[in-house]
């Protein structure tokens, strides 16, 4: 590669790393091109990407980003998955891909500026999606006022029941 092309790759990758919410580093040894393209396509549907870059170029591009905290991950062949929107969804895609292929392994990564181990990525993949978490939060927020309204309605019904009993007792007398 010529120096100008390397500089262009480093600049482009640096820009994408600064925009990323998460970057996952993987070992892709033993995978053919067709398999890698399937992974790229699956990630691209989420708005993310998977790329293989020389380690030296990646480390140069990572300067000034949270990825500088994990240079030890860049030993041997490395592929990087860059997540821009939903890191959990990206981790799920990578974990499902890894289940089918023994040679595909997680080295680690960075999630919103914090380093992750390979096991951390697997744990992230087990989390519910963003939509499910938002739904759970919403149901929790709704449960408190609903419970209060139900309790107040019960008190009101008991009060009305008592008034009705008093009215019937006075009607008999």
Domain harbouring 101, CATH code: 3.30.70.1730
Residues in the chain: 173
Query: Percentage of the chain with pLDDT > 70?
Result: 100
Going by pLDDT thresholds of 50, 70 and 90, the confidence category of residue 95 is very high
Which residues are within 8 A (CB) of 120 and not within 5 positions of it... i.e. 6 or more apart? 108, 109, 111
> Model-level pTM greater than 0.85?
no
Q: pLDDT category, 42, cuts 50, 70, 90?
A: very high
Same domain, 134 and 123: no
Do 26 and 95 have their domain in common?
Answer: yes
pLDDT given for residue 93 in this prediction: 92
- pLDDT score recorded for residue 142: 85
Element holding 37 (H helix, E strand): helix 33-45
CA atoms of 75 and 60, how far apart (whole Å): 14
In terms of domains, do 116 and 97 share one?
yes
Looking at residue 22, its pLDDT comes to 92
Q: Could you tell me if 80 and 94 lie in one domain?
A: yes
How many independent structural domains does the chain possess? 2
- 43: how many CB neighbours lie within 10 A of its CB? 22
Q: What is the mean pLDDT of residues 57-83?
A: 87
Instruction: Say how far apart CA 75 and CA 138 lie, in whole Å.
Output: 44
Q: In the predicted model, is pLDDT for residue 50 greater than 90? A: yes
Bridge pairing between strands 105-111 and 79-83 = unpaired
- How much is the CA Rg of the chain, to the nearest whole Å? 27
**Torsion from C-alpha of 140, 142, 147, 152, nearest 10 degrees:** 160
HSE of 153 in the Cβ direction (CA atoms, 13 Å)? 6
Q: What is the pLDDT of residues 12-31, one digit of tens each?
A: 999 998 999 999 999 988 88
Domain of 165?
A: 130-173
């Amino acid at each position: 590669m010529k120096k100008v092309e390397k500089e262009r790759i480093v600049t482009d990758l640096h820009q994408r790393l600064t925009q990323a919410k998460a970057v996952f580093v993987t070992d892709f040894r033993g995978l053919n091109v067709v398999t890698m393209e399937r992974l790229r396509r699956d990630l691209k549907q989420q708005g993310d990407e998977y790329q293989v870059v020389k380690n030296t170029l990646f480390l140069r591009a990572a300067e000034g980003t949270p990825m500088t905290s994990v240079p030890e991950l860049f030993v041997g062949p490395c592929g990087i998955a860059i997540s821009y929107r939903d890191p959990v969804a990206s981790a799920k895609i990578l974990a499902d891909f890894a289940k089918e292929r023994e040679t595909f392994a997680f080295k680690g990564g960075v999630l919103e500026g914090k380093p992750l181990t390979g096991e951390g990525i697997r744990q992230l993949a087990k989390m519910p999606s963003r939509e499910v978490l938002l739904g759970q939060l919403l149901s929790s927020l709704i449960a408190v006022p609903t419970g209060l309204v139900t309790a107040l309605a019960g008190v009101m019904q008991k009060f009305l029941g008592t008034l009705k009993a008093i009215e019937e007792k006075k009607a008999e007398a």
